[in-house]
Structure 1
Amino acid sequence: MSMLGKAALAMWWDVSPEVREELEHWHAHEHVAERLSIEGFLRSSRWTDASAGEGFFVMYELRDHAVLASEPYVARLNAPTPWSTKMMPMHRNMVRTQCEVVHSHGAVTARHVLTIRCSPLEGLQDKLNTKLGELGESASQLPGIVGLHVLRHQAPAMAATTEQKIRGNADRAADWIIVVSGYDLDALQQFGDEKLSNAQLEALGAVAETQCQSFTLAYTAIPPDVV
């Protein structure tokens, strides 16, 4: 398994241009260090919209799913710093998904990633699981592509946190997530068009919640980098 651990926290959001610089500064120099100081947080990666839009994709790789409801993490979620308290309302259109890692083939952090959020068609979850595993094995060796990873939403049993309440309790969650990593954006986008289109997803046993989104790596860190 190529991801660092058996679970992940995957998030999408966007911010208005006037606060983007501060949000990136906060995320890189306070928030990532805070999260990676928590036992079980293994790597943080942030990508920005490859088409220069306002969106971000952020993923934390975790030791296991229990980290998402661990006492140290929940304590941080319920006691945000003053800077975090300021920045939380600026996260727009938040999709925040606690996940288990279903498949992981090849590298995770590359110059670009392609993400798609989808759900299995009724009665086809097992088929989707099998087909995405097969797709990951082949995709990770294609020119321009270095990895394919599949995550599945599994919410921990916990109450809404202070951070969620600051954001307005409007966080959404994806169901299944496909993350394709690569060094060639054109190759990734071609792969998305050919293998993850609506028709292809249906053949795999899924329906898209979003179309493929492309992102470019902005920052990645592991605990020794910041703690």
Structure 2
Amino acid sequence: MSGAFLALWNDYPSAMTQEYEAWHSFEHVPERLTTPGMVSARRYAAFGDGMNRYFTLYQLEDLQTVEHPAYLDLVRNPTEWSRRMRRHFSNVLRIPAARCAGGGRGVGSCALVLAYSAGTGDARDAIPALERGLGAMVEDARILGFQIGLATPNQAYEVFTQDRAPDEDTLDVVIVVEGLHRWSLERMRDEVAALIHRCLRPRQPLREDLLDLIVAFRSNEFPADRRQIPNSSRLFGAEPARGTALDFAAKGAEERPPPRDEAARPAG
């Protein structure tokens, strides 16, 4: 298992869903996974009427991965498509975290993704109790798995500003809880929250989202050099070219069912 992860939340206009999905799947994530130390990536989403909420989880060998020259080159020298897509990001929260605990196996169809600001001592002291509590939920087959990370707040990032007041006596705590079904995680939501508040005593919630898994990639699916990622020039433009990934994404968006919160929840 990796020793760190990069958790990244962002909102994006729902009117651009088809282009975002194509860009993120065919250019952005494949480029990131050419970085040495990037192990895998998953994209989660909650689709809304005006804005979509996205969460991308990158598993890293260690935190030095996001300081690697290959990664910094991607940040500082984006493609034309990436540069254009960046303009529409909002509500960005980026947390590179050291992975402190985890349990379970497999990848769930959805995730409860939680981030909090907590006192440094409280954050470190809470890890064993959180691991025991969440581990018991895995053993009882109530959740599929989990991982917990700790991070220094407000880490510098050259692309987006995160306007949070600095506090030297805090750590960010990220908890990803995976489930087989959305309804099963909805049932566990209050119990997970109670465990976290009892063990962690957070000072401030940063994110509390229940999201569906859209796609997952592993780094060995891609070449080791960003220049070998297929050129994106055919994928973007005002109108998607027929038969391109963006065209297929557009067709998929037309057929997408309503957001899960509006769908009927299974009985039982």
- Whether TM-score is above 0.5 comes out as yes
Instruction: Read off the aligned partner of 1:46 and give its amino acid letter.
Output: R
- 2:211 matches 1:215: yes
Count the aligned residue pairs.
216
Matched with 2:32 is 35
Stretch moving more, 171-180 or 104-113: 171-180
Where do 1:54-93 residues align within 5 Å?
Answer: 54-93=52-91
Tell me how far apart the structure 2 counterparts of residues 108 and 101 of structure 1 sit (CA, whole Å). Answer: 17
* CA-atom RMSD in angstroms: 2.5
Describe the shift of the 1:160–1:12 C-alpha distance in structure 2 as closer, same or farther (beyond 3 A). Answer: closer
- 2:125 matches 1:130: no
Q: Cα offset for 1:90?
A: 1.3
Q: Secondary structure of 1:196's match? A: helix
Is this contact kept in 2: 1:115–1:177, CA < 8 A?
Answer: yes
Tell me how far apart the structure 2 counterparts of residues 103 and 50 of structure 1 sit (CA, whole Å). Answer: 30
Describe the shift of the 1:176–1:122 C-alpha distance in structure 2 as closer, same or farther (beyond 3 A). Answer: closer
Give the TM-score normalised by structure 2: 0.73
Give the TM-score normalised by structure 1: 0.85
Is this contact kept in 2: 1:144–1:184, CA < 8 A?
Answer: no
Q: Secondary structure of 1:5's match? A: coil
- 2:200 matches 1:205: yes
Instruction: Read off the aligned partner of 1:94 and give its amino acid letter.
Output: V
1:224 to 220, 225, 244: 220
Gaps of 5+ in 1: none
Q: Cα offset for 1:88?
A: 0.9
Q: Which runs of 4+ in 1 moved over 3 A?
A: 50-53, 154-157, 170-174
Structure with greater Cα Rg: 2
Stretch moving more, 48-57 or 9-18: 48-57
Where do 1:38-53 residues align within 5 Å?
Answer: 38-49=35-46
Describe the shift of the 1:135–1:50 C-alpha distance in structure 2 as closer, same or farther (beyond 3 A). Answer: farther
Q: Cα offset for 1:155?
A: 6.8
1:190 to 187, 191, 200: 187
Is this contact kept in 1: 2:35–2:68, CA < 8 A?
Answer: no
Is this contact kept in 2: 1:108–1:181, CA < 8 A?
Answer: no
Describe the shift of the 1:122–1:66 C-alpha distance in structure 2 as closer, same or farther (beyond 3 A). Answer: closer
Gaps of 5+ in 2: 224-268
Tell me how far apart the structure 1 counterparts of residues 128 and 110 of structure 2 sit (CA, whole Å). Answer: 25
Q: Cα offset for 1:144?
A: 4.7
- Aligned-residue sequence identity (percent) comes to 22
Is this contact kept in 2: 1:7–1:64, CA < 8 A?
Answer: yes
Stretch moving more, 113-122 or 80-89: 113-122
